[in-house]
Structure 1
């Protein structure tokens, strides 16, 4: 059974990926510093997969702690690297925090494993495209100047990984460029659990619906879109998690060498106002929202061409907007009744 190090494995996407790794026959080993996650998710995971996965709490920016971890867990076959700060708005306000954390953690991992044959999956983002010239955006689209420090960390991290491959300091790397993950596991035992005020749309929707937040602010209604609000490609987090397993499977193929990148989305775009309407229609819950000014760092519209992922990863998103909204709502109700 191959051992897969999942950094940030108690976070939103990481925890769902742990579930899919186990279902696919892998042994996940979680490292998380709990800076943006909750240790109680470990118990939730054990209820889903039937056992408590190995968990180590430390900051990957601490090289000494990382070396101590390797001494205890020397046999790692693959790495899925989620551990990073990810809020666009916060990155604009605190860029050094983002550069320090997101680069040091990646560099430390590459340094300690550079002499080993490790299948490395990197959690990247569609933010590397900025505002694309053509939609849907393909993996061949030019990487533009980032709209935020968060987006810039993803761009530069991809450059670091390509350079490491070229220099022989890494062997197999796949960067997965996510669009907008939403939803929750169908057990409602894990889902998006932001610390403090949510930075993403759907948890703000569900928290408003349940009464934790007074209202939703839609950032701008004067964009060049069908209703003036921003357009994104929303993808169910379970579909996204399964793509990481597909990436590992591809790298296990002897024919795969070097570096590759894949878009992970549905291939369709929805506006913010459409997502609000979808939630209302799916759940029957009316939402209190207002139109506010544009938010610094936001791209007007982006959705992905996922042809390459379909053909080469043999992966395709299966779950639609209604399931995204209903599962997110079931998760919100669950944690309201069972606080973590």
Structure 2
């Protein structure tokens, strides 16, 4: 008697999970609409990671998450934070005399038109001012009422399976495309912005002390530093202090988009157990220094799509790979293997996990030197 082959919804849960692991997010979304059982199977994947932003709409959406059934599936929460516009923009006289003079606006408009840009690429002067003033008023209102801290702390307590927080730094959020070009003219306070957002997350976590044992990983994406001379070590004590306080609440740090956090921490002793790098370019000496400084605590280094800058002018770019590790970890013993963590390494990327051992044992005369043991594919 021929056995009937079960349909997709008749497959065991373990098989369905393996199928989902090989699908893109849009495919999983479509699959979740087939029937109720597949919807239940897809929900933990669809809401494994959710995000919100530092804005009125973003905070309102975050507040709704606290009362939603999907909160039981959230394991990673992304908080996208913009640069704060200087309060000086609220005074029109200061704006037109010190931030964007009518003369500089006319010159910029002429350059855009001369290059063939359409008229809407350079909006009217007063539209620029009113837009920036409105954004600044909204930002100041959120901070003065402490809405970001209060809402974030209450929602963190409502996510029982949360293990990772991400701070995603950007210049602006959901604004017209032309806004960034004017914000980059010195209208934002980059250092003050970063300090505020770091301290906000720290205070929200401290308000909910019971979460501090469950949260494991903090991810910092595209965090940038104020301008400093490339020949100097970045020194921003307020920013470094805020970052150190936040990292005390986590055991793993993920860095993507910018090496700024590592440059701030390269000579600082932190209590992290794991460091993960991805989609980032970092000075060779910076990576060496942070690993050397924290060799007593960091036990593993993960990386994917990571580049190292070398040379006197940092003009040499090398892809970090297993073959390059002996140069980075020349006085460590270590094992390496491919990363199979579906949630840590993005789809299509090849990741590696390096397990760090103690410093090389001293060589005994007459015996070969102790070399690191390297596993995996090269």
TM-score bracket relative to the smaller structure: 0.3 to 0.5
TM-score (norm 1): 0.33
- Find the structure with the greater CA-based Rg: 2
Which one scores higher on RCO, CA 8 angstroms, separation ≥ 6? 1
